[in-house]
Structure formats: C-alpha cells, structure tokens
Amino acid sequence: LTKGRKDESGDFTKGAGLSEETAEKILSAIRQRSGSNEEVLDTIRGPASASAIRQAGIDELEQIARLVAGAGYDEGRIRIDPSVVRGLEYYTGPVYEVDLTFETKNDEGRPVRFGSVGGGRMGPQLKYADKRRSPCVVIQGADEKSKGEVQIKDLILGAELAGMSKDRDEYRQKQAKAQFAVPEEKLVDAVREVLQRHGVA
C-alpha cells in the first residue's frame, strides 16, 4: 500500500503510493474478518464524510449481504471478507474467492480437488461486446453448453429482488424472469426481451 516491496526472488512490486497513516487506516479495516457480515460492514463503513467511491463500494457490499441473507446463507457459507483482494486493475467491483471443498472426478475417474477459485466484476471488458451498457448478462457454463442452452440474467430485475418484501408468489415470479435458460438458437430473442423490459431496445 505504500512504496512497494521486494519478494524472495528479488523482484520489486510497486506499491500504491499511500502514506503510512492512510495505509494503516485501510489495514485496520481489513483486519476485521470475524463476526457477522453486518459487524464486518459496521467496521469498514467509516464516517458519513467518507469518499463517494468508498461509499459506493460499501453500498455494493451491503447489497450483497442482503442478497446472501435473503437466499438463506449465513457467514458459515458466504462471508464479507475485506482482506480478499485481487491484483488485476480491470476489476470494477467486489471480488470473490471460493473454497471448493467437495471432490469430483476427472475424465479418467480419478478424484480431483479444486482448492479455491476467484474472480470479480470486469465492467470495462463489457464495452467490447456492447457499448449501450445493456442491463443483462449472458452466461454459458459446461452444463449449459452440453444442453445447448445459455443462462440469461436480468441484472436490474435482480437488484429489485434484493430489496423487495418476500411475498412468496411475487418473488418466485420475478425470480423466474431475472434468471432463466433458453436454447442457444433463441439467445437473441431472449436478450431482446430483457432489453425491452427496460426500454433499451
């Protein structure tokens, strides 16, 4: 966070150039790793006069905490951890790290353990696919690929779900619209449908 450091190989990594005082404020906040997600957020929230960028980041973490709690997960499964960082500068939002504790088998039938994986939002990368800041994301994993399907996520509707009351029928109805699978050949029609909901197309 300050000048930088030299690792065991002798390579020097440039730091963020912060003063010792500022670096210590950040470190004292990220050392809070225990307790409930709300307690962690209370620690890093800081004064009301905090910068707009900092406040926007904390607002996102609070929204994630609400989504996690609403989905029925406690801190034993999903935890807000300020100490998790990733080094690539194109991440534009919260990053995550997942510990995969289950075992699976490879193509030869041998047990495989993944350990941990991580990632985050890479907003600037989306501009190469769509300059209109579309409110949806298309995701295709291995399972969807084998079925000839793609997953469509309506991010705006998903955010609305996070803040709505838990009317069971209404919640399920909107949840089905916020994330759904379609055959690959119907991808364009499905994306258009999401865009039209929000007056983009």
Kindly write down the DSSP assignment for every residue of 109-162, as one continuous string: S-EEEEEEEEEE--GGGGGGT-TT--SEEEE--HHHHHHTEEEEEEHHHHHHHH
Q: Return the higher-pLDDT residue of 71 and 115.
A: 71
Q: What is the pLDDT of residue 106?
A: 75
Tokens at 51, concatenated: 């910068």
Q: Of 26, 52, 83, which closes a domain?
A: 83
User: Are 25 and 53 part of one and the same domain?
Assistant: yes
Q: What is the pLDDT of residue 90?
A: 63
Q: Return the higher-pLDDT residue of 141 and 104.
A: 104
Of 36-40, 55-59, 117-121, 176-180, the poorest mean pLDDT is in: 117-121
Position 15 pLDDT exceeds 80: yes
User: Are 148 and 169 part of one and the same domain?
Assistant: yes
* Burial of residue 71, with CB atoms counted within 10 A of its CB: 0-12 exposed, 13-18 middle, 19 or more buried: exposed
Number of C-beta neighbours around residue 150 at 10 A? 21
pTM above 0.75, yes or no: no
Contact call for residues 136 and 195 (beta carbons, < 8 A): yes
Model confidence pLDDT, tens digit, residues 63-109: 999 998 988 988 888 999 888 877 666 677 788 888 877 777 777 88
Whole-Å CA distances, 76 to 60, 64, 102: 20, 15, 16
User: Are 77 and 90 part of one and the same domain?
Assistant: no
Q: Domain residues for 53?
A: 15-83
Number of domains into which the chain is organized:
3
Model confidence pLDDT, tens digit, residues 64-77: 999 989 889 888 88
User: Are 53 and 66 part of one and the same domain?
Assistant: yes
Position 138 pLDDT exceeds 70: no
